[in-house]
Amino acid sequence: MPELPEVETTRRGLEQRVAGQKITGVIVRDRRLRQPVPRRLPALLTGATIKSLARRGKYLLIDCGGGTLIVHLGMSGRLWLVDEATPALKHDHLDLVLAGGMIVRLRDPRRFGLVLWQRGDPLLHPLLARMGPEPLSREFDGIALYRATRNRSAAIKQVVMDAHVVAGIGNIYANEALFRARINPGIAARRMTRARCTTLVEKIRETLIAAIDAGGSSLRDYVGSNGMAGSFQNNFLVYDRAGKPCFACGTPLRGIRQSQRSTFYCPCCQR
């Protein structure tokens, strides 16, 4: 479910309501995520105060003073604030009970998500340490993408989805940005010119910012941290539109598979 814009929407929604709040209790109902939820989490977090929420790629970094709670939402995860009277349902695996009477709740039916604890600098965690630049940072520019694509025979879409190249570009936004950049998702990354790299970086940024402004995309059961649904799914130009006319030229869009992921593109506009 959540890609970078959805994670960022979650971060913004939660931060303003939980920063400065004390955690009075931690309820772990199911430890079985992609990795087991640390057993000592309640001991570590009870009594701690949430300082701030940051994001690295699709990882949420909840600074709790003595350490950072690192949360990844996987495919079906959702982190949001509920009233303490809200009953926990089947897939509500973790609650952070706050002093103010609210609960930060993690729901993740597919359990591809991750909850980790890191002392010290969270960016040093092995899963984060070798990630590529943030797509919205200055560090990620045409030159950086050009360098990262040299000697890579893999398709540009796969390279752009490689978190070691640039953080947090998922399947939907890779598809959308490539369409906006008029680049065929299947071309070998090494064949990208400098100019096309610059264009693609611009379009990635443009797409992510538009999606964040729309509160993310709501697919299936996704809703933001305040329970409100994002609306960017209404602005998809190619994602999930196989066979439908290209908004630019009318040609039926194609749906193919690349590395077991679905790709959508316009065979006419994207070369």
Active site residues: 2-3, 58, 261
What's the min distance (Å) between Cβ of 108 and DNA? 9
Nearest to DNA of 76, 270 (CB atom): 76
**Nearer Cβ to DNA (97/172):** 172
Other CB atoms within a 10 A radius of the CB of residue 219 amount to 18
Binding site residues, DNA, CB under 7 A: 1-3, 6, 32, 34, 57-59, 72, 74-76, 90-91, 109-112, 127, 151-154, 158-159, 163, 168, 170-172, 189, 217-222, 259-262
CA distance 180 to 83: 41
Comparing CB distances to DNA, the nearer of 56 and 196 is 56
Q: What is the CA radius of gyration of the chain?
A: 20
Amino acid at 12: R
Q: d(Cα 33, Cα 108) in Å, to the nearest integer?
A: 9
Considering the complex, what minimum distance in angstroms separates the CB of residue 217 from DNA? Answer: 5
Minimum CB separation of residue 9 from DNA in Å reads: 10
- What are the backbone dihedrals phi and psi of residue 82, each rounded to the nearest 5 degrees, phi first? -130, 160
CA gap 41, 73 in Å, rounded: 18
- Classified as helix, coil or strand, 143 is helix
Which residue lies nearer to DNA by CB, 97 or 263? Answer: 263
**Does residue 182 come out as left (phi exceeding 0), alpha (psi in the -120 to 50 range) or beta?**
left
Assess contact for 212 and 9: CB atoms under 8 A: yes
Q: How far is the CB of 111 from DNA (least distance, A)?
A: 5
